[in-house]
Amino acid sequence: MFSWKRIRYGVMFAFLAYISWVGYQHQVLGGGPAGIPTVDALCPLGGLESIYSYLTSGVWLRRVAPSALILFIAVAGITLLLGRVFCGWICPLGTIGEFSNLAAKKLGIRQRELPPALDRGLKMLKYVVLAVILYFTWTWGTLAWREYDPWVSWMHLASGWEEMVASPWGYVVLFFVVIGAGLFIERFWCRYLCPLGAALGILQKFSLTKVRRSKETCISCSKCNRSCPMGITPMALEKVTDADCIACGRCTESCPVEKTLQFSVAGKKVLSALAVGLLGVGLYFAAYGTAKITGYWQTFASTSVEALKDPVDGVFGWMTIEQVAAQVHLPSAKILEIAGLPAESPTNVSIKQMEGVNDEELKEQLKVYFAANPAKAPEPKTVVPSNPDELKGSFTLAEVASGYGLELSAILEKAGWPADADPNVKMRDVANTIGRDSSDIRNAVKELLENR
C-alpha cells in the first residue's frame, strides 16, 4: 500500500511534470488561440496581477487570460477551506524547491536554520515583494514581475541559452534562490520571497482547517518541528495559526503519538493529512472542470492592455506574418522586409517556426520602423470580447480577425459569407448588404477557436 509520503510526492511530481511538458510544448508549437497556453495563463498569480486591469478596463494584461483568474479564485477558496494545499501539494515551483532540498539531504549537504529574529524578519520580505509587484503591475499596466519570475524561466528552459542571455534575471532567481539557497534551507523561496505564498498566507490566517496539538499527550520530542519545511514549531503551539503553514502534513505524520497532532476543521472534524491534500487537489480539478464545462475556461485573451496602447505589443511568436501584418496594418511584404527575410518567405507559417526571425526582435524592428515613419503607425486597437458570443455587429471583420488571431478568409468561409466582403466595414452593415446575420460570424469564430 502506498504511504502518505509517496502519494504526496507522486501528486507533486505529476503536476510538475505535466506543467513542464506544457511549457515545452508552448516553446515548440507556440501559443495563441489555436496553440498551447502561456505560463501566465496557467498561474494563479497572473490572475491576481491582472485583476485590477480587468475590473477597471475589461481587458487582461499581455499573456494573461481568464483561466489565471479562475485558478486564483479556486486556490484562494481552497486555502480558506483547507489551508495552503496548493503550496504543499500542487505548486510546481514549491516542488522544485522541496525536491532540490531532498536531493541535498541525500548528498549529505548540511541543513541550516536562520536565527529566529532574522527568520521572522525575512519572512516579512515576501509581503513586500507582493506589494511591489502589484503596485507596479497595476500602475504600469504590464507584468512588471515577469523578467524576474523564476517560474517563467523554468517554463522557458526549452528555449535554450539565447533565452537565458536575453532575460537572465529570472534564471538567476531560479538557480541561485529557488534551487541554490533551497539546498541549505528547505523551501527558502517559499519561506521568504514567494509573492503568491504571501497572498495565500494572508488567507491562511482565516482558514477553517488548522493543525492542532494535544498538550496532554504530547511528549515534546520535537519531531514535528524538525519535519516542517517552513520552519514552524508546532510543538510550541496548541493551534498552528502561522500564515506559512502549507498543509503538507509532514508534522502530523511525523508525530509518534496517535491523535496528538492532527488537522481539524473548525476545531471539530478531524482529517488525516492525506485527506486534506487529496480534498484540496480534488477541489482544484473540480474548479477547472466546472470552468471548462460552463465555457469560462479560456487560456487566451483576444486583446491585452499593452496592445491597446501600442498594437505592436500585440505581436506574438504564434502569429503568422499575415497575422502580424493585420495586427499592425502593414502589407505582408513590408513585414518580411522589416524582418530582413526573403520576399519569397512563407507568410502563413508561425514566426516561432521560421528560421531567422524572433518575435521579440521583430517587435523591436517594427517599433523602430514606426518611430521613423509615424504617419504609418497603427491606431490603438479596438477591444474584442474574450467570449465570441459577446461580439457585436459594430466590429469590423478586420477587427474580429485581428482580435482573435484568425485568418479572415477562414472566418468568411466558415460563416458562408462572400470571400470579397469588405473587412473595414462593420459586420452588421455587411450582413445587411448580403442578407445575412452577424451571428454567422460569431458562430464561425467560436467554432474556429474551439476546433483548431
pLDDT digits (tens, 9 = 90+) for 61-86: 878 888 999 999 999 999 999 999 99
For 275-308, letters b (16+ CB in 10 Å) and e give ebbbbbbebbeebeeebeeeeebbbbbbbbbbbb
Amino acid (one-letter) located at 422: D
Measure CA 9 to chain center.
Answer: 22
CA 86, CA 200: separation in Å to the nearest integer?
A: 9
- Asked if residue 287 has pLDDT above 60, the reply is yes
Tens digit of each residue's pLDDT (9 = 90 or more) over 382-395: 666 666 777 778 78
In angstroms, how far is the first alpha carbon of the chain from the final one? 43
Tens digit of each residue's pLDDT (9 = 90 or more) over 302-342: 665 555 567 777 787 777 888 888 878 888 888 888 888 88
Measure CA 155 to chain center.
Answer: 10
Tens digit of each residue's pLDDT (9 = 90 or more) over 113-150: 899 999 999 999 999 999 999 999 998 888 889 899 99
CA 85, CA 204: separation in Å to the nearest integer?
A: 10
CB-based contacts of 442: which residues, under 8 Å, 6+ apart? 388, 389, 391
User: For the residues 288-306, what does the mean pLDDT come to?
Assistant: 78
Residue 363: the pLDDT is: 83
CA 84, CA 80: separation in Å to the nearest integer?
A: 8
Residue 309: the pLDDT is: 65
Residue 84: the pLDDT is: 97
C-alpha cell of residue 422: 469588405
Tens digit of each residue's pLDDT (9 = 90 or more) over 167-210: 789 999 999 999 999 999 999 999 999 999 999 999 999 999 99
Q: Nearest to residue 155, comparing CAs of 244, 46, 72?
A: 46
Q: Give me the architecture of the 207-272 domain, per CATH.
A: 2-Layer Sandwich (3.30)
Q: Are 259 and 100 a contacting pair, CB within 8 Å?
A: no
CA 155, CA 99: separation in Å to the nearest integer?
A: 17
Residue-range domain boundaries for the chain: 4-203, 207-272, 310-376, 388-451
CA 256, CA 218: separation in Å to the nearest integer?
A: 9
CA 257, CA 260: separation in Å to the nearest integer?
A: 6
Q: Radius of gyration over alpha carbons of the chain, in Å? A: 25
3-state class of 372 per DSSP? helix
